[in-house]
Structure 1
Amino acid sequence: MSVPVLARAGDTVSAGQRQADRRAVRARDRFHRGPGRWIVLAIIVAGAALMLVPFALMLLNAFKSPADYSTNGPLSWPTEFYTKGLTTYWTESDYPLKLWNSTLIAGTVAVAAVLISLLNAYAIGVGRVKGRLWIVALFLLGNMIPQEALVYPLYFLAKEVGLYNTKLVVIIIFTVIQSAFGTYLLASVLGTFPKALLEAAALDGASRWQILWKVVFPIVRPTLSVLLIFFFIWTWNEFFIPLVMLIDNATQTVPVALASLQGDRLMDAPTTNAGALISLIPAVIFFLIFQRTLTRGVTAGAIK
């Protein structure tokens, strides 16, 4: 009776050893996959370095005097640490006010557009309204229309209703634009929502409103988080419509204030670079704060 037991023990040891050997081989293959792996890595690093070149030039010229810039060019190292461009942009453009305007507009648009997108997509994707495909196609078409084609009717309408040169008109315009994209995206997601969950919630006596907030919302929350971040950044960077709609210094946003530094025939390049540096910092901080949320949202959406 003892021999089979020993044989089985030996088989167990040999199987464990084979499994350990396979892990070791996989570990070696993971780090030694030939020159192709290093070529791809080198291409990625080179692409990342090229993307950082404009930011490096901006940082380099933000602390350069106009005389130094005109004499030595944009690629030279600053001969002195020049900070007047930063202070000039901060004071002349009233940057704190522009920062508040941009934050208020972008934040309000992001929250409102996500909420409207969720409600629209819930009605289209889960409610199964008639003509669902045509409605989704209409929202997609609305995203494809360039802003240049929309600006004149929007300008005329804003004048007629008395909202021209107010932050509210920009908030309404971009809420509609962003929610059109959000509705198109979420309607496609909710169109494949498991019917078993909805039927189980309905059998438990949940209303449509309760199904939305207690069943649908927790599942699509990662996607909504991604949309919120994108809507904020997209609205923050908008320039053309705020330039047309906001003509008063008290209502303008950061991109419009940055464009005002450039004259008809003269541009103060160091001050413009300093203004671009200051204007970039809030967006970078926002991205760094919500980077983990963005990563989790994208990963969760990919898994689902």
Structure 2
Amino acid sequence: MAITDTPAGTTARAALQQPPRQRPRGGRARKTAGDWLILLVAVLIGLLIAVPFLLILANSFKSPADYATGGPLSLPTSLSFDGITAFWERVDFPRKLWNSFFISAVVAVLAVGISMFNAFALGIGRVRGRTWLVLLILLANMLPQEVLLYPLYFMFREVGLYDNVWAVIIIFTVIQSAFGTYLLASVYGTFPKELLEAASLDGASRWQILWRVIFPISRPTLSVLLIFFFIWTWNEFLIPLTFLVGNDNQTVPVAITVLQGDRLMDVTTTSASALLGLLPTLIFFLIFQRTLTRGITAGAVK
């Protein structure tokens, strides 16, 4: 098909004669000065966050003499495991590690399950007074733990659960599920009604709708809650310190503080205790990092 000499044909001929634009290699746009500035700021923030961990890591493998000679900012001249060994043996670290893992895992699973059931009733079941119930749950979640200590202490002492890991499990399950209920109720409140109506027309009961429709779709969000509940419970200190007074029931954060308060410790042993207390949650986060990323970005992709 020939191009005529009309004005439209002249424009088309000029467009054909122009050389094609060359794309950057790899199909990626060139980074501007603003992009490099943001990257530099992110790297600096990452280094500031990593400095305390690096100091703990360096001082954990120093001997007391090495620390006294070089100070906290120097690198160890030789690897010494005396601090790690001393902390491991003094507090019976495997026992404390199991207590923290057991409490955190049970709390995470129970809190996610209770949150899902509560949110299904509030967000999809549309119970009466839904708004006030969600507001009450939010206000309860905002209460400081110090306010709850004496009433909980009196209650669990009366029922015989004081100095028992199940007391801490019950407390944190209620606390974490309050936040999970508030979050999931907002998510389930925007769930497509057409999908639920289609499942009902197919003869699905409410239980089947929950497990065959709601649960598979909200699994990424539930996975994120599970990871956060585990880490939050692991790092809790005040309530385990109050309710777990026996040495066999203490968690890792409590064991670190009690040991520092009861005995004179050198800095290397203190750093080793902080390192051993941090490593389990760090390993847990690295294992489930992909799950966490998928759960956070799941709501952005439809």
TM-score higher than 0.5 = yes
Q: Which runs of 4+ in 1 moved over 3 A?
A: 22-28, 264-267
Contact 1:262 1:268 in 2 (8 A): no
1:76 aligns with 2:74: yes
Contact 1:61 1:69 in 2 (8 A): yes
Rounded Cα–Cα distance in structure 2 between residues aligned with 1:132 and 1:233? 30
Rounded Cα–Cα distance in structure 2 between residues aligned with 1:282 and 1:146? 27
For residues 179-216 of structure 1, give each alpha carbon's deviation from its aligned partner in whole angstroms, at most 9, with x where no partner exists.
Answer: 00000000000011111111111111111111111111
Call closer, same or farther: CA 1:83–1:138 in 2, change over 3 Å: same
Matched positions, count: 297
Q: Among residues 107, 117, 120, which one is paired with 1:119 in the alignment? A: 117
Q: Percent identity?
A: 63
For residues 237-267 of structure 1, give each alpha carbon's deviation from its aligned partner in whole angstroms, at most 9, with x where no partner exists.
Answer: 1111000000111111111111122126844
Q: Among residues 82, 100, 103, which one is paired with 1:102 in the alignment? A: 100
Residues 291-302 of structure 1: pairs in structure 2 closer than 5 A = 291-302=289-300
Unpaired runs of at least 5, structure 1? none
Residues 1-304 of structure 1: pairs in structure 2 closer than 5 A = 3=2, 21=21, 23-24=23-24, 27=27, 30-33=29-32, 35-263=33-261, 266-303=264-301
Rounded Cα–Cα distance in structure 1 between residues aligned with 2:150 and 2:60? 36
Normalised by the length of structure 2, the TM-score is 0.91
Rounded Cα–Cα distance in structure 2 between residues aligned with 1:197 and 1:123? 17
Rounded Cα–Cα distance in structure 2 between residues aligned with 1:152 and 1:119? 29
Call closer, same or farther: CA 1:232–1:98 in 2, change over 3 Å: same
Rounded Cα–Cα distance in structure 1 between residues aligned with 2:247 and 2:63? 27
Q: Following TM superposition, by how much is the alpha carbon of 1:26 offset from its aligned partner in structure 2, in angstroms?
A: 11
Rounded Cα–Cα distance in structure 2 between residues aligned with 1:40 and 1:194? 38
Contact 1:261 1:268 in 2 (8 A): no
Rounded Cα–Cα distance in structure 2 between residues aligned with 1:74 and 1:290? 33
Rounded Cα–Cα distance in structure 1 between residues aligned with 2:195 and 2:77? 67
Q: Read off the aligned partner of 2:30 and give its amino acid letter.
A: F
Contact 1:261 1:272 in 2 (8 A): no
